[in-house]
């Protein structure tokens, strides 16, 4: 083999591994260190955002994913976060959220780039703090920074929050809701799709398949999480518009995957623990909705982060803990 073809092959390998690390960033949103899962997530986002006539959301996801991965290469070359896809999962969520809630201006895209890049070092900073107690920041860098920029959009006209709900002291009264079996399945699938802020049941199927490609257990727990959220929301008579759009589901889905399929070994004790955590996440979702109402911003995946901290901090020991890239900080 000539030196030339060797270097060409090495170059090709670098490109391939960069693409793989980037796509794993998409997969890590639901804790899967798999480029194929990430690719299918992206496919689901493209399907859903074009279906909803919001193509900018899909392209935002791509931009956010790439920018935050690049930011990781620049400021965070000190451990194995990159190959595990830990740079991109906050950035892709920033990329989904910005065009969903703000106007499609060039300033919005500039803000998206700044915010997606910042998730990398904010993640490291928060993990430096939280790592001492066996938890990490999960998607909180995305949540915190996006809250800041969405709030800022109320003062910065150029970010024009066209689709942010108006601040209000009390929520609208819930109305009637279709409870046919088909409707319930649609709400259930949307609960999974809303993890990436997509309001499409087809996207929910994409995501379940994407999870199953890497971990059937994760796919099952995603399904359980959305179902438990749906049941709890009906039992306590939640806001029907939110139920129908899957908005009670996305945080419990993440909690269920995290506690049920990621951080603990599989047994009946950890399963019970995951179920309780999932139910508490639904109350956190409703409570944070009410907390955010006067501010007019969404909770994002904040309820998942808080619920998972409350349950992981306790370091429940009856079932063994598993190793996972997002489980703890490297020393």
Binding-site ranges for a second copy (CB under 8 A)? 75, 78, 107, 111, 114, 118, 121-122, 124-126, 128-129, 132-133, 147-152, 154-159, 166-171, 174, 233, 235-239, 242, 276, 279-280, 283-284, 286-291, 294-296, 309-318
Nearer to a second copy, 52 or 310 (CB): 310
Least distance between a second copy and beta carbon 53 (Å): 26
Least distance between a second copy and beta carbon 260 (Å): 17
Nearer to a second copy, 153 or 203 (CB): 153
Nearer to a second copy, 42 or 159 (CB): 159
Least distance between a second copy and beta carbon 148 (Å): 4
Least distance between a second copy and beta carbon 105 (Å): 9
Nearer to a second copy, 126 or 209 (CB): 126
Nearer to a second copy, 2 or 170 (CB): 170
Least distance between a second copy and beta carbon 27 (Å): 24
Can you give the chain as a three-state secondary structure string? CCHHHHHHHHHHHHHHHHHHHHHHHHHHHHCCCCHHHHHHHHHHHHHHHHHCCCHHHHHHHHHHHHHHHHHHHHHCCCCCCCCCCCCHHHHHHHHHHHHHHCCCCHHHHHHHHHHHHHHHHHHHHHHHHHHHHCCCCCCHHHHHHHHHHHHHCCCCHHHCCCCCCCCCCCCCCCCCCCCCHHHHHHHHHHHHHHHHCCCCHHHHHHHHHHHHHHCHHHHHHHHHHHHHHHHHHHHCCCCHHHHHCCCCCHHHHHHHHHHHHHCECCCHHHHHHHHHHHHHHHHHHHHHHHHHCCCCCCCCCHHHHHHHHHHHCCCCCCCCECCCCCCCCCC
Least distance between a second copy and beta carbon 227 (Å): 18
Nearer to a second copy, 40 or 254 (CB): 254
């Amino acid at each position: 083999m000539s030196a030339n073809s060797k270097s060409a092959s090495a170059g090709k390998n670098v490109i391939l591994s960069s693409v793989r690390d980037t796509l794993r960033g998409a997969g890590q949103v639901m804790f899967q260190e798999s480029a194929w899962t990430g690719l299918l997530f992206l496919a689901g986002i493209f399907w859903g955002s074009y279906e909803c006539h919001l193509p900018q959301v899909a392209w935002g996801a791509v931009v956010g994913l790439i920018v935050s991965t690049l930011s990781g290469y620049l400021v965070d070359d000190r451990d194995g976060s990159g190959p595990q896809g830990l740079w991109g999962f906050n950035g892709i969520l920033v990329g989904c959220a910005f065009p969903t809630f703000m106007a499609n201006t060039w300033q919005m895209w500039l803000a998206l780039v700044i915010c997606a890049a910042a998730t990398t070092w904010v993640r490291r900073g928060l993990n430096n703090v939280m790592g001492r107690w066996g938890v990490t920041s999960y998607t909180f860098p995305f949540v915190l920074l996006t809250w800041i920029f969405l709030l800022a959009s109320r003062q910065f006209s150029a970010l024009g929050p066209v689709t942010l709900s108006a601040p209000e002291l009390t929520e609208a009264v819930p109305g009637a809701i279709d409870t046919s079996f088909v409707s319930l399945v649609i709400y259930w699938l949307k609960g999974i799709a809303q993890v990436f802020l997509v309001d499409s049941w087809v996207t929910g199927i994409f995501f379940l398949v994407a999870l199953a490609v890497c971990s059937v257990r994760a796919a099952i727990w995603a399904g359980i999480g959305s179902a438990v959220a749906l049941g709890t929301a009906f039992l306590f008579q939640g806001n029907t518009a939110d139920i129908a759009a899957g908005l009670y589901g996305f945080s419990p889905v993440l909690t269920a995957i995290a506690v049920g399929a990621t951080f603990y070994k599989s047994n009946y004790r950890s399963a019970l623990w995951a179920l309780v955590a999932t139910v508490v996440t639904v109350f956190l979702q409703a409570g944070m909705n009410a907390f955010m109402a006067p501010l007019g911003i969404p909770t994002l995946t904040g309820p998942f982060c808080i619920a998972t901290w409350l349950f992981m901090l306790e370091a429940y020991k009856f079932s063994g803990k598993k190793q996972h890239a997002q489980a703890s900080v490297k020393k």
